[in-house]
Homo-oligomer: A and B are copies of this chain.
Amino acid sequence: MTLPRTLDWRPEGPSVRLLDQTRLPVAIAFVDCLTVAELIDAIRRLVVRGAPALGAVGALGVALAIAESEREGWSPAHLADTIAALRSARPTAVNLAWGVDEVLPLLPAGLPAVLAGARRLIAADEAANRLLAERGTEWILDRVRGERVNVLTHCNTGSLATTAWGTALGIVRTLSTRGRLGLVYADETRPLLQGSRLTAWELAGEGIDYRIQVDGAAASTIARGLVDVAIIGADRIARNGDTANKIGSLAVALACADAGVPFIVAAPASTLDLTTATGDGITIEQRPEAEVLHWGDAVVAPPGARAFNPAFDVTPARLIDAIVTEVGVVEPRLIADVSAIAAATPARV
């Protein structure tokens, strides 16, 4: 199965075309964003999500802003404000702002230059994913016994969360390609079910054997010895290695630490945020209560019910065995500073 592209630039309009991830796996539909306001709305509604994908969308969004500005005759100040709004459309993932910042120096050179920069960033993301997947696979195969590795993962970190291949799910793909993958336990990832809707869809497309489980099952699946390694992605990694990722990641890390199962964070170096010292400095996005209280049109709680809906949690570095990036692997228990690998990050696009 060839997956449709998660995101793309369309010369008609022009627009940023997004595969609508809120509709999967029931429907394969696209959202064409002709304006930055539409793109921001799509980002907030999670039509597109996943830290590396948001980086690509940030870069393409700058190109879209230029096109819209030229069409509408915006002042430079209005263009700058619009780009700033795009840059902060979601607070936790660092990659969105990073993607904007990567192409912003090209703004004076005009739309074609920015677009070319965004395309280089997208190509670099796929290359980074494939490289970090190789590094992660090597790290795991050096440490896990057995012919086949059973993996637990949380949320979606595949092609849909990136531009192609994936981070944590990229490692799963590489293990599979090498014939070393066993069973994948995919946490469903409430409230928006990125695991059962998106990860399962990608795994099914690859012909990989998997089981969806409720998030609450992860700890006992790990404690019962059914898993050789847990691999998650990241939305922001602080300088000391503390990692913000989809809500529920911390529970996976705690179960792994208790059971002595390796817990790995896989992310491109663009996810490292050296300006944030520890996880305490990471803003956690609060999402609408309705995401927890409703299911489509169905209400699952009593009238007037309130919900607490943080979209992310922070796993402390002490619970992480390895942070795998395309430029290197850090074991935060040994080196509580990711600056070393960040310094090796390739130059700007």
Contacts and interface: CB of A to CB of B under 8 A. Distances in A.
A306 B184 CA distance: 11
Nearest to A217: B247
Interface string A268-308: 00000000000000000000000011011011111111111
A189 B212 contact: no
A218 B252 CA distance: 12
6 contacts: A196-B300, A200-B305, A211-B308, A215-B216, A216-B313, A296-B298
Nearest to A220: B313
B185 A216 contact: no
Interface string A301-335: 11111111110011000000000000000000000
A345 interface: no
A223 interface: yes
Contacts of A191: 214
A248 interface: yes
B196 A214 contact: no
Given A188-B190, A196-B301, A295-B298, A254 B204 contact: no
Given A190-B188, A196-B292, A307-B212, A248 B302 contact: no
B301 A25 contact: yes
Contact of A220 (B185, B190, B201, B310): B310
Nearest to A25: B302
Stoichiometry, copies per complex: 2
Contact of A255 (B25, B254, B308): B254
A250 interface: yes
Given A25-B302, A251-B254, A254-B255, A216 B189 contact: yes
A213 B298 contact: no
Nearest 10 A-B pairs (CB), nearest first? A216-B248, A220-B313, A211-B308, A190-B214, A219-B251, A251-B251, A215-B216, A219-B250, A254-B254, A25-B302
A245 B305 CA distance: 25
Interface in A193-217: 193, 196-197, 200-201, 204, 210-217
Contact of A250 (B246, B255, B293, B304): B255
Nearest to A218: B251
Nearest to A24: B302
Given A220-B250, A305-B204, A313-B219, A214 B292 contact: yes
Nearest to A299: B26
A277 B215 CA distance: 28
A69 interface: no
A88 interface: no
A304 B205 CA distance: 11
Given A197-B301, A305-B200, A212 B292 contact: yes
A197 to B, nearest CB: 6
A258 interface: yes
Contact of A221 (B25, B223, B306, B308): B308
Contact of A212 (B220, B295, B298, B305): B305
